[in-house]
Structure 1
Amino acid sequence: MAEPASRIRPRKPVGVDTTRASIARVYDYSLGGKDNYDIDRSAYQQILEVAPRQGDVSIMNRRWLHRVIRYLAGTSGIDQFLDIGAGLPTVANTHEIAQQLNSDAHVVYVDNDPVCNAHGRVLLEQNENTHFISADVLEEGTLLGNSDITKFLDLDRPLGLVLCGLLHHIDEQFDPVGMMREYVELLPSGSYLAISHFHDPGSLDPELHALAKELERRFTEKGLGSGWYRTSAEILEYFGGLELVAPGLVQLDDWWPAGPPLRERFPEEKVMVGGIAYKP
């Protein structure tokens, strides 16, 4: 059984430890990647027992990220991005999408897992506009005050701050709302904040609420040691009072979809939401 999330301090990054499941490696496995171990696949099986289409959730999350980056780099003219909790590089990463629309776009990836950083640096060593930095979203002062990161960004101009599937792995003990309030305060005017997060619809949908609570139990107690499903009201607090871009905080495939749905949405896909907010 995985170690439950600490209520005293953040769990140390897993790195190459093959006795603990890794968030990045489990996500890699769910996307069909090969950078994972038996412990990661075992943790993921715990999820598949109640959410057999969880792999589609991971794919949906990537689709959402791609649309978000296209919106920011294209429609909104954002040319610098800070992608926190980037994980292991996979197909069509943030910089690839952004630089398709603007070859001069700068992207800084951040992760606290040394394996992610090693893979990231190898992938990006030929791209002078893209950087992979080892740091933790919970560090004091926020990453927008970290000179290793900000030397690659111009904080006098708008940027896109992306937290794709990260905040639901942060325990309430560490005050993610207060943390995000600091990030929002430091964002330059004209910036955007993009967040995707596991969702608990509560009494609005009892069946999905039950699924969310069981998935949360398996993530936190039997799998990764983290993975909380929060309500819309709780997730909205992470945007620090900023106004959300239409259509607001919605199920991921409802955010600027590429076209009409080709099939009915799986239940596990309905318990993840995302949105983008603008800082005037």
Structure 2
Amino acid sequence: MSQPDGVDSRTAGGAQRLDPEVAHNARVWNYWLGGKDNFASDRAVGDHIRTVFPVIGDVARADRRFLARVVRFLAAERGVRQFLDIGTGLPTADNTHQLAQRIAPESRVVYVDNDPMVLVHARALLTSSAEGATDYLDADVHRPEQILAAAARTLDLDRPVAVMLLGILNFVADTDQATEIVRRLMDALPAGSFLALTHPTVELGGEANVAAMAFWNEHAAPPIRARTGAEIAGFFAGLDWVEPGLVSCARWRPVEGDDTSVPQYGGVARKP
């Protein structure tokens, strides 16, 4: 598949071949958010999951709103000017660089994904304020050192970075491996860096997620899993929680009237 003209994305790992016959998480997520960058296979899987797990649309929207609140908080209240957004998915309104650069135009943002559909849309992700910078890496979360090496072309890894891992570690099947990925990312960054993370669960009223994920793993890619709050909290080991800690992502510093719990944990912590 050729790259769109004018896109200057860099590659740290090969993207998967685009297969419209197999539902893929970035496109199904786009469908649940009301987007149009999806195929019939994505819509079919998305519709079936919605029948067994009706709150999935609420989860998708809550996760997106969590992203917006976290970026605004880190940029406005904690002075963060660098963001590494791993597992970014398809671009929508208010992407990380837009949110951050609205507050601090000099902000620098690197997006990471390995979905070929996201690569097609890299042009939208690479827009930037004149003072700041954005880049897109075609890379796999399982290879954190490659991500860091490529991100260093845009980010200064000697200065604090906010690592965004929203809805991505659920595609790493082994919990020890997922924990090691986070550790390797955060160990490479200085004190004052942040980790922001969301992850699905069968807690918080998410029991129907069991059937939904079983269907997903039979009919879509990549395979997914839920984790308990205790398992997810383990990803933040050695970091200092930002209040309110690990909660339903909808209840992390919510705006008034927008805090209905969803079965998706979210949290932010700072590297001391």
Distance 1:257 1:91, change over 3 A: same
1:279 to partner: Cα distance = 0.3
SS of equivalent to 2:207:
helix
For residue 131 of structure 1, give the secondary structure of its aligned residue in structure 2. strand
- What secondary structure is seen at the aligned counterpart in 1 of 2:85? strand
What residue in structure 1 maps to residue 138 of structure 2?
A: 134
Q: Deviations over 1:76-109 (max 9, x none)?
A: 0000100001111111100111011101111110
The alpha-carbon distance between structure 1 residues 140 and 180, as it changes in their structure 2 partners (threshold 3 A), is: closer
Contact kept, 8 Å, 2:165 with 2:198, in 1: the verdict is: yes
The alpha-carbon deviation at position 66 of structure 1 amounts to: 0.1
Q: What code does the residue aligned with 2:264 have?
A: M
| TM-aligned CA distance change 1:56 to 1:160, over 3 Å | same
Residue in 2 aligned with 1:22? 24
Contact 2:23 2:220 in 1 (8 A): yes
Matched, 1:253 2:250: yes
Higher helix share: 1
Identify if the C-alpha distance between structure 1 residues 131 and 31 changes in structure 2 by more than 3 Å, giving closer, same or farther. Answer: same
SS in 2 for 1:55: helix
Alpha-carbon distance in structure 1 between the residues aligned to 2:128 and 2:241: 36
> Structure 1 residue 199: deviation in Å?
1.5
Cα drift, residue 112 of structure 1: 1.0
Moved over 4 A (4+): 12-15, 125-128
Task: Give the number of equivalent residue pairs.
Answer: 257
Q: Contact 2:250/2:262 (CA < 8 Å) preserved in 1?
A: no
Equivalent runs, 1:203-222 vs 2, <5 Å: 208=205, 210-222=207-219
Deviations 1:249-280 (A, max 9, x none): 00011100111348xx4xxx531110001001
On the 8 A contact 1:108/1:131 being kept in 2, the answer is: yes
Match of 1:57, SS state, is helix
1:159-192 C-alpha deviation (Å, 9 max, x unpaired): 1100111111211188111221111211211100
For residue 151 of structure 1, the aligned residue among 145, 150, 153 is: 153
Q: 2: CA distance between counterparts of 1:250 and 1:140?
A: 26
Work out the CA distance in 1 between the residues paired with 2:135 and 2:116: 14
Residue type of the alignment partner of 2:263 = V
2:255 is the alignment partner of 1:270: no
Secondary structure, aligned partner of 1:210: coil
- Match of 2:121, SS state, is helix
Structure 1 residue 212 displacement after superposition = 2.8
Q: 1:260 to 1:123 in 2, by over 3 A?
A: closer
Query: Which letter maps to 2:20?
Result: T
Which residue matches 2:164? 162
The corresponding residue for 2:85 is 83
Once the two structures are TM-superposed, the CA of residue 74 in structure 1 deviates from its matched residue by 0.7
SS in 1 for 2:262: helix
Contact 1:26–1:44 under 8 Å retained in 2: yes
Separation in 1 of the partners of 2:258 and 2:71?
21
Q: How does 1:173-252 map to 2 (within 5 A)?
A: 175-201=177-203, 208=205, 210-252=207-249
- Work out the CA distance in 2 between the residues paired with 1:125 and 1:103: 12
Flag the 1:173–1:120 CA change in 2: closer, same or farther, 3 A.
Answer: same
Find the aligned partners of 1:191 and 1:75 in 2 and give their Cα distance: 14
In the superposition, relative to structure 1, how do residues 220 and 241 fare at CA in structure 2: closer, same or farther (>3 Å)?
farther
- Matched with 1:98 is 100
After TM superposition, give the deviation of residue 70 of structure 1 in Å.
Answer: 0.5
Match of 2:46 in 1: 44
Summarize the Cα distance change of 1:105–1:230 in structure 2 as closer, same or farther, 3 Å threshold. Answer: same
